[in-house]
Amino acid sequence: MDEIISAEIRRFVQEESGNRFGESGERYFDDPLVGFAAADDPLFLKYKEVIGEFHLTPEELAETAEGGCWHPRTVICWVLPITEATRASNRPETMYPSRAWAQTRHHGETFNTSLRRHLVRFLVERGHRALAPQLHPGWREYGETPVGIASSWSERHAAYAAGFGTFSLNDALITERGIAHRLGTVITDLALTPSPRPYLHHKINCLWHRNGTCGACIGRCPVGALSKEGHDKRICRDHVYGTIPAKVAEQYQVASTGCGLCQTRVPCEGKIP
């Protein structure tokens, strides 16, 4: 079933029209990476310490799922790498994202939600229980926590548990396809083989954390949300969800724009540096 699930996610990404720009027909995302984490991996309990008690475990999500309580066994995770063409369009930008980047953030995430729903339906039709944490009624965002803005389920931390990559100075996840991507997760009662975590520690893919070099993302941030001390989520959020949409959302014909400057024109843009 491991390969059946992976193949279905790849098929959906390759074939569905929602993964394509309306004008050109080019894809928002390249072929996905797919991996699995055990639902009872101790990391999910650890996240209650690292992120906050409000961060839900797979067990807690399944206990409060619509349709009744069930026992989760696997967290299915995927990485949707943003295409080279879209990343290239964002590299020259210095204040706002490119049009292609903004449309990928808006329409691409709509597609990602469709993929979450599709995979849940795919599993349920085969007799399994499944849920998408991002669509669960218990999903919440918290504005004031010890770690700043956070939510009750982190797809980045789930992806770390599934062996996809480690965290960067700007808090994003550096995978083998780099840092420019979207992530998705579905929890199921189907037992799948957990993916290995081939890293020494949770920040090793970032050159700054590994040996004190780079820091290119600091200079890419137009509002000073990044420094050697890390990521100021409040400054970042005000720019990404306030200033940028007010300036270019209507022009780009989207509601959410993203930013992505610190994810492009940096050594980790499309690979582990």
Phi/psi of residue 200, each to 5°? -75, -35
Instruction: Look up the pTM and report it.
Output: 0.97
**pLDDT value at residue 63:** 96
**pLDDT value at residue 56:** 97
Place of tokens 């100075």: 169
The answer to whether residues 269 and 178 touch, using CB atoms and an 8 Å cutoff, is: yes
Q: Is the pLDDT of residue 143 over 90?
A: no
Q: How many helices (H) and strands (E) does the chain have?
A: 12, 10
**pLDDT value at residue 67:** 83
Q: What angle do CA 62, 54, 180 make, to 5 degrees?
A: 85
Average per-residue pLDDT for the chain: 97
Q: How confident is the model at residue 148 (pLDDT cuts 50, 70, 90)?
A: confident
Q: Which two tokens stand for residue 82?
A: 């943003």
The answer to whether residues 202 and 185 touch, using CB atoms and an 8 Å cutoff, is: no
d(CA 12, CA 15): 5
Q: Is the pLDDT of residue 144 over 90?
A: no
List, for residues 202-254, the tens digit of each pLDDT value: 999 999 999 999 999 999 999 999 999 999 999 999 999 999 999 999 999 99
Q: For residue 149, what are the CA distances in angstroms to 160, 206, 234?
A: 19, 22, 7
The answer to whether residues 23 and 65 touch, using CB atoms and an 8 Å cutoff, is: no
Residues 6+ apart with CB under 8 A from 166: 160, 173, 174, 199, 201, 202, 203, 204, 205, 206
Q: Which two tokens stand for residue 139?
A: 């999903």
d(CA 70, CA 42): 19
Averaged pLDDT for residues 49-61? 96
Averaged pLDDT for residues 131-147? 93
List, for residues 173-208, the tens digit of each pLDDT value: 999 999 999 999 999 999 999 999 999 999 999 999
Length of the chain: 273
Phi/psi of residue 74, each to 5°? -140, 145
Q: Is the pLDDT of residue 117 over 90?
A: yes
Q: Is the pLDDT of residue 73 over 90?
A: yes
Place of tokens 């290119």: 216
Residues 6+ apart with CB under 8 A from 115: 9, 12, 13, 16, 78, 184
Q: Is the pLDDT of residue 12 over 90?
A: yes
Q: Is the pLDDT of residue 166 over 90?
A: yes
